[in-house]
Amino acid sequence: MHDNISFVEKCLSSQEVFSGRLLHVFKDTVRLPDGSESTREYIKHPGAAVVIPYCGDRRILMIRQYRYPVGQTLLELPAGKIDGQDSPDATIKRELAEETGYRPGIIIPIGLIHTCVGYSSERLYLYWAEQLQYAPLTADDDENIVTLEVPITDAMQMVYAGQITDAKTLIGLFWAEKIINRQALLGQAKL
Amino acid sequence: MHDNISFVEKCLSSQEVFSGRLLHVFKDTVRLPDGSESTREYIKHPGAAVVIPYCGDRRILMIRQYRYPVGQTLLELPAGKIDGQDSPDATIKRELAEETGYRPGIIIPIGLIHTCVGYSSERLYLYWAEQLQYAPLTADDDENIVTLEVPITDAMQMVYAGQITDAKTLIGLFWAEKIINRQALLGQAKL
């Protein structure tokens, strides 16, 4: 097997071709391993965090919200983008509070997800949260979000039936099922 | 629970703010459910397909390739973007042949994945493939790709150890483990 080095595409020049409120799009000229040049277009992303909020009794807290890019209301795990110099830990506590009103007693990192390796630099940190306490915020209610407690077996049935399609949520639910059934252990993650 | 209608963000105007070789970025002005206006930035994506190529004997065909947006060589399932009017079926057969040299005797749809609902319209179709025959192409060798046969138990150990991070690959491997262990059935997908 080749090692990492032989595959590397070297950046020759980088240009920001769109700078928006949310998206920052770059077009780089790169040197390929065979010596030729090509271009790479991608989104430079600040990173994000997603959480499996465990309610106990084999139940997961999920949210339902409208997603404009796909034109659908989707059932998801709470998640959000990292702001400024925030840590993934701080991000997931903030997003969980803003989106559901719950504060976790414990958060445990599970792993790192590269959301979209073809065209985004996004690194998405997956967490487990438990000992949830309800302490709703009054502000930041501009997202139209509904919160639901879903038994893990019901969530998995929705996965098999094609009723849950969001990538980060699929990964989180497969992990959640293993953790709840004690087929995978928490606390060994390297983030 | 609210129904879909109450959440819908209505498009008031749409502008293509970057048109590249790969990426098409849009900025839309939308009417929110509360009547106010906001903007939404997102990538309009042609869709893609990803495949679990099953070699038999509890082994999956995987590929290793360098991904410029994340600056790493990653272990992934074969996948690719839908070209023009191609179907997801045709796309996955083409990508499997181009990336691994294998042609499947059978492909079976598993489900739909929304890769990145925050900022992309991408719909990613997940397939199972088996009865693989090796019949390599000579052309289209510009991607630096290494093919590996990986036992599903080894692949899952890499998932737990944080050595596999690509989102579509994580979802595919969780599905593959269930299919191989006969905990989930093929052939019931609605794509």
B104 lies in the same domain as B125: yes
Query: What angle in degrees, to the nearest 10, is found between the helix axes of B152-160 and B167-180?
Result: 140
Q: Is the pLDDT of residue B189 over 70?
A: no
pLDDT score recorded for residue A7:
85
ipTM: 0.94
pLDDT score recorded for residue A190:
42
A109 lies in the same domain as A134: yes
A79 lies in the same domain as A164: yes
A59 lies in the same domain as A25: no
At A76, which CATH number?
A: 3.90.79.10
Q: Which residue has the higher pLDDT, B4 or B45?
A: B45
Q: In this structure, is residue A24 part of a structural domain?
A: yes
Write out the E strands in chain B. Answer: 10-19, 24-31, 37-43, 48-56, 59-67, 72-76, 79-81, 102-103, 106-114, 123-130, 133-134, 145-151
Q: For B131-145, what is the mean pLDDT? A: 76
Q: Report CB contact under 8 Å: A33, B190.
A: no
A85 contacts: CB under 8 Å, gap ≥ 6? none
The torsion angle over the Cα atoms of residues B7, B11, B14 and B17, rounded to 10 degrees, is: -10
The C-alpha atoms of residue B44 and residue A41 are separated, in whole angstroms, by 14
The C-alpha atoms of residue B120 and residue B19 are separated, in whole angstroms, by 14
Q: In this structure, is residue B187 part of a structural domain?
A: no
Rounded to a whole number of angstroms, the distance from the CA of A132 to the nearest CA of chain B is: 22
A114 lies in the same domain as A101: yes
Q: In this structure, is residue A190 part of a structural domain?
A: no
Rounded to a whole number of angstroms, the distance from the CA of A10 to the nearest CA of chain B is: 9
Percent of chain B with pLDDT over 70: 91
Residue A155 phi/psi, 5-degree rounding, is: -60, -45
pLDDT score recorded for residue B186:
74
Of B2, B73, B167, the CB nearest to A7: B73
A175 lies in the same domain as A96: yes
Q: In this structure, is residue A16 part of a structural domain?
A: yes
A54 lies in the same domain as A104: yes
Q: In this structure, is residue A85 part of a structural domain?
A: yes
Q: Is the pLDDT of residue B190 over 90?
A: no
Quick: pLDDT tens for B34-62.
Answer: 899 999 999 999 999 999 999 999 999 99
Residue B1 confidence class, pLDDT cut points 50, 70, 90: very low
Residue B2 confidence class, pLDDT cut points 50, 70, 90: very low
What is residue A189's three-state secondary structure? coil
Q: In this structure, is residue A162 part of a structural domain?
A: yes
List the single best residue of A70, A121, A126, A191 to mutate versus B (max B Cβ within 10 A): A70
pLDDT score recorded for residue B4:
52
Q: In this structure, is residue A102 part of a structural domain?
A: yes
Residue range(s) defining the domain that contains residue B11: 4-44
Rounded to a whole number of angstroms, the distance from the CA of B98 to the nearest CA of chain A is: 17
Q: Which residues of chain A have pLDDT under 50?
A: 1-2, 142, 189-191
List the single best residue of B117, B127, B146, B165 to mutate versus A (max A Cβ within 10 A): B117
Residue A16 phi/psi, 5-degree rounding, is: -80, 115
- CA closest to A69 among chain B residues: B121
A71 lies in the same domain as A140: yes
List the single best residue of A5, A15, A23 to mutate versus B (max B Cβ within 10 A): A23
Quick: pLDDT tens for B80-137.
Answer: 999 999 999 999 999 999 999 999 999 999 999 999 999 999 999 999 999 999 988 7
Q: For B183-191, what is the mean pLDDT? A: 61
Total domain count for chain A? 2
The C-alpha atoms of residue A64 and residue A176 are separated, in whole angstroms, by 18
pLDDT score recorded for residue B143:
63
Longest C-alpha distance within chain A, in Å? 57
The C-alpha atoms of residue A60 and residue A129 are separated, in whole angstroms, by 10
Rounded to a whole number of angstroms, the distance from the CA of B106 to the nearest CA of chain A is: 20
pLDDT score recorded for residue A26:
98
B53 lies in the same domain as B38: no
Q: Report CB contact under 8 Å: B115, A1.
A: no
Structure tokens at A172: 């989180």
Q: In this structure, is residue B185 part of a structural domain?
A: no
B14 lies in the same domain as B66: no
Residues of A in contact with B170 (CB under 8 A): 113, 171, 174
- CA-only gyration radius of chain A, Å: 19
pLDDT score recorded for residue B78:
97
Long-range contacts of A136-141 (CB under 8 A, 24+ apart): A136/A101, A137/A97, A137/A98, A137/A101, A140/A98
B34 lies in the same domain as B79: no
B52 lies in the same domain as B36: no
A5 contacts: CB under 8 Å, gap ≥ 6? none
pLDDT score recorded for residue A186:
74
pLDDT score recorded for residue B191:
41
pLDDT score recorded for residue A83:
95
Instruction: Output the CA–CA distances (angstroms, integers) from residue A59 to A37, B67, B80, in the order listed.
Output: 51, 36, 35
Of B69, B113, B191, the CB nearest to A119: B69
pTM higher than 0.90, yes or no? yes
Residue B41 phi/psi, 5-degree rounding, is: -105, 130
Residues of A in contact with B22 (CB under 8 A): 41, 119
